[in-house]
Amino acid sequence: MDRIKADLIRKLLHAKAPQRVARALDRLAPADIAELFAVLSPGETVEVFDILFDARRAAKTLAELPYDYLTSVLERLDDERVARVVSRLPSDDATLFVQALGDSRREGVLEKLPEDHRHEVQRLLTYPEDSAGRVMTTQFIALESESSAHDAIERIRGREDVADSLFHLFVVDNAQRLAGTVPLRRLVAAQPTRTLADIMLKDPVSISALADQEEAANLVSKYNLLAIPVVDDEHRIVGIITVDDVIDVIREEATEDMYLMAGLDGQDRVFSPTSTSIRRRLPWNMLNMATAFLAASVVGLFEDAITTAVALATFMPVVAGMGGNAGIQTLTVVTRGIALGEIEFSSGMRAVFKEITVGLFIGLLVGVITGLVAWLWKGSPTLGVVLVTAMVCNMTMAGLMGAAIPLGLKLLRLDPALGGGVLLTAFTDSFGFFTFLGLASVMMPT
């Protein structure tokens, strides 16, 4: 949505010309209209919503809003209208909307939904957050394996609700267990009398409704699927996750990893209000302050050494900075490798040994240069030797910790990216100062 179109629509709103607004919106895709909401005032938001609502496009448009925006738009609408919007959405979006309402309004809106829709949403809400069951849609077609290709085509013709996004049929046995999938192209090309059992792809990849949505995304990505069937404990199909939702999951998970590494709350976005961002970042900054004091107290142990040789203070940032940088490199490679499943092409132990070796060698190379510079600058060969030794130790340990932190978190079934950057630089700062200043107070004459 470019600024010019947005300005035009706001002018038409101010001119009280809703029909012209409606015509302008009619030419835009839901994802573009959603961007418009970012620049509208609360009053304008409700006006645009009303126009979309009359054109039956409100549901699809709101479904394109980032979660934070959705929450604030829903706050401005009454229960009646929210319920009507929700009832027009596919089950996965409907569940998301009801979740976005907040505890106080949820029951009120659920009551106003048509009964079958209400039961559906309530059932989906019982799946844990971030599970496959929570992100799946229940709009799919499953047929028994004895059905003919002709029957299947008739069934597709009769189902308006699954619309253009239907590209596979799912085939079940007589106990309703998932047995295969039929890509639409095979159905089109098949003789009308052939059974689905004849033309289906057997033993399709599927996922349990209770599995993590990230696992669903990894399977879709690994096996190049367009949709993955979601099954219950008895292997009966209960929903499907489509690739467009998988893309959202992949982007979300990448964001989450980057955020966790930097020490950020997942909902802290560029467009979040300033006060929200401050509140969300403060705990991480407090944690970082605690780790910074740890590093400071290590330095505090060696104040005498620094008073005697103040050049130590000058080189402190080099030891800490280089260790932190090398550690973040390792942490990023290993965390991303775990997320992408690339660690399958290697192994945890191999990764740890490799990163230790990389740290050792790079530490040697940059350590020797730093040591030489220090010698030339400050005229003290001992300072040079202390620097080389401290940097090699710190960068080797940075390699070890950069690999061990995410792999350890994974073993503990926690997110491998969790707070990695903050923990790691806390370690490389403290350990770096300890080796550097400790060595100096032993080796340098006082």
Binding mask 12-51 for a copy of itself (x = CB under 8 A): -----------------x-x---x-xx-------------
Q: CA 354, 360, 361 angle in degrees (round to 5)?
A: 95
Residues 299-318 touching a copy of itself, rule: CB under 8 A, are 299-300, 303, 306-307, 310-318
H helices of 57-201, in order, are: 58-62, 67-75, 79-87, 91-100, 103-111, 115-125, 132-135, 149-158, 184-189, 196-199
Residue 427 and residue 327 in contact, taking contact as beta carbons nearer than 8 Å: yes
Cβ at position 412, least distance to a copy of itself in Å: 19
Cβ at position 354, least distance to a copy of itself in Å: 5
Q: If binding is defined by CB under 8 A, does position 420 make contact with a copy of itself? A: no
DSSP tag of 128: P
Residue 264 and residue 281 in contact, taking contact as beta carbons nearer than 8 Å: yes
Which range, of 7-15, 112-120, 129-137, 320-328, touches a copy of itself by CB under 8 A?
Answer: 320-328
- Look-up of token digits 């008739």: 154
Based on CB atoms, which residue is closest to a copy of itself, 343 or 404? Answer: 343
Q: If binding is defined by CB under 8 A, does position 122 make contact with a copy of itself? A: no
Residues 209-248 touching a copy of itself, rule: CB under 8 A, are 220-226, 243-244, 246-248
DSSP tag of 29: -
Structure tokens at 252: 């979300």
Q: If binding is defined by CB under 8 A, does position 140 make contact with a copy of itself? A: no
DSSP secondary structure of 243-302: HHHHHHHHHHHHHHHHHHHHT--TT--TTS-HHHHHHHHHHHHHHHHHHHHHHHHHHHHT
Which range, of 48-56, 81-89, 230-238, 252-260, touches a copy of itself by CB under 8 A?
Answer: 252-260
Q: CA 268, 59, 76 angle in degrees (round to 5)?
A: 60
Question: Which member of 61, 95, 195, 370 binds a copy of itself (CB under 8 A)?
Answer: 370
Cβ at position 21, least distance to a copy of itself in Å: 20
Q: If binding is defined by CB under 8 A, does position 332 make contact with a copy of itself? A: yes
Q: If binding is defined by CB under 8 A, does position 442 make contact with a copy of itself? A: no
Cβ at position 186, least distance to a copy of itself in Å: 6
Question: Which member of 21, 98, 333, 440 binds a copy of itself (CB under 8 A)?
Answer: 333
Sorted by sequence, the CB contacts under 8 Å of residue 122 that are 6+ apart come out as 110
Q: If binding is defined by CB under 8 A, does position 274 make contact with a copy of itself? A: yes
Question: Which member of 365, 376, 412, 443 binds a copy of itself (CB under 8 A)?
Answer: 365
Residue 315 and residue 387 in contact, taking contact as beta carbons nearer than 8 Å: yes
Residue 26 and residue 33 in contact, taking contact as beta carbons nearer than 8 Å: no
Instruction: Tell me, by CB under 8 A, how many residues bind a copy of itself.
Output: 119
Based on CB atoms, which residue is closest to a copy of itself, 70 or 179? Answer: 70
Do strands 168-172 and 201-202 pair parallel, antiparallel, or not at all (unpaired)?
unpaired
Cβ at position 323, least distance to a copy of itself in Å: 10
Taking alpha carbons only, the member of 334, 329, 319 closest to residue 388 is: 319
Cβ at position 173, least distance to a copy of itself in Å: 20
- Look-up of token digits 């609360």: 42
Q: If binding is defined by CB under 8 A, does position 358 make contact with a copy of itself? A: yes
Q: If binding is defined by CB under 8 A, does position 349 make contact with a copy of itself? A: no
Question: Which member of 69, 170, 427, 434 binds a copy of itself (CB under 8 A)?
Answer: 69
Q: If binding is defined by CB under 8 A, does position 183 make contact with a copy of itself? A: yes
